[in-house]
A = this chain, B = another copy of it.
Amino acid sequence: MNQLAFIGLGSMGLPMARNLLSARFPVAGFDMNPRALAALADAGGRVCDSARDAARGADALILMVVNATQAEQILFDEGALESLADDALVVLMATCPSAAVARLAERVAAVGRQLVDAPVSGGVVGARARTLSIMAAAPAAVFERIFPVLRGMGDKVFHVGEEPGQGAVVKTVNQLLCGVHIAAVAEAFSLARKAGVDLQVLLEIMSGSAAASWMLKDRGPRMLRDDPEVTSAIDIFVKDLGIVLASGSDSRVALPLAAAAHQMFLATAGRGLGQADDSQVIQSYDLINGNCQA
């Protein structure tokens, strides 16, 4: 891997690109945001005027974009795919529906390149600290080629399957559990608050019992604060649980808990809280259960 292209230098993408530069990979980058490009240049990256320019001659094109539609535009409409080196790999790291990833992989293969389906978990904190989990699906030989690059962005790199789309499934399942766990904590706290139980004591007990979850320990304390910092927004779970349910619908799988949790995130966003911290789904529970003066 002599040359990498990186498209999508947002709150996740920029620190990921920085970590690749620290690992001595040459990175050419593009983003619509000029401040992101300036930050890449500061870190030693080469800044380009378009996705096509960044991709020119690269051995791997890393896409940390918003969704599958944006990945499609960059690869096909903006001509990034055709300007890559002949045997280049396209590494899709955004959270996308599995079926969309499989379709993209076919279109990439049709022009002689290969897609690595490699979504991540760990958020901005993990992107900065190079502690992301990366769930990669690709034929074994392809996975071996891209492994050093993935290892430059995360410390837990898993080969989850040979077929593009299987990484997306694992990420989807991850988000199902994350979203349901956050909503479950909010639901539990709402019941306890109505009964007059001290929620700080409750949080301490639950954190050390069989009721514990990663989300309880991370989001639980923020549910008890009035205006917590935003580490991941309500809108992310509106989108990601939407992908979970679309995947379920595509493959005809009933997901009653995910569906119920999605409704609560949707209602929270519907009151204008889409950019609030996702812990604030508790406000929807407290509202419907009469725990707040409306």
Q: Which A residues form the contact surface with B (CB < 8 A)?
A: 98, 121-123, 133, 135, 156, 158, 160-161, 165-166, 169-170, 172-178, 180-181, 183-185, 187-192, 194-198, 201-202, 204-206, 208-216, 218, 244, 247-248, 251-258, 260-261, 263-264, 288-290
In the complex, the answer to whether A197 meets B161 with C-beta atoms within 8 Å is yes
Measured CB to CB, the nearest residue on chain B to A177 is B211
What distance in Å separates the Cβ of A100 from its nearest Cβ neighbour in chain B?
14
12 CB contacts below 8 A, A to B, read: A170-B202, A172-B191, A176-B211, A177-B211, A180-B257, A184-B184, A194-B253, A195-B251, A210-B218, A252-B289, A252-B290, A257-B260
In the complex, the answer to whether B288 meets A254 with C-beta atoms within 8 Å is yes
Measured CB to CB, the nearest residue on chain B to A199 is B173
What distance in Å separates the Cβ of A115 from its nearest Cβ neighbour in chain B?
17
Q: Identify which of B181, B198, B288 contacts A184 (C-beta below 8 A).
A: B181
Q: Identify which of B177, B183, B209 contacts A257 (C-beta below 8 A).
A: B183
Knowing that A161-B198, A191-B251 are A-B contacts, what are 7 other residue pairs whose CB atoms are under 8 Å apart, sorted by A's residue number?
A156-B209, A170-B192, A173-B192, A173-B202, A180-B187, A187-B257, A191-B255
What distance in Å separates the Cβ of A186 from its nearest Cβ neighbour in chain B?
9
Q: Taking each of A170, A197, A255, A263, which has the highest tally of chain B beta carbons within 10 Å of its own beta carbon?
A: A197
> How many copies of this protein are present in the complex?
2
Q: Identify which of B172, B196, B213 contacts A214 (C-beta below 8 A).
A: B213
CA distance A41 to B247 in the complex (A): 58
CB contacts (< 8 Å) of A122 on chain B: these are 209-210
In the complex, the answer to whether B133 meets A181 with C-beta atoms within 8 Å is no
CA distance A122 to B264 in the complex (A): 30
Q: Identify which of B161, B174, B188, B211 contacts A121 (C-beta below 8 A).
A: B211
What distance in Å separates the Cβ of A183 from its nearest Cβ neighbour in chain B?
6
What distance in Å separates the Cβ of A244 from its nearest Cβ neighbour in chain B?
8
CA distance A260 to B75 in the complex (A): 42
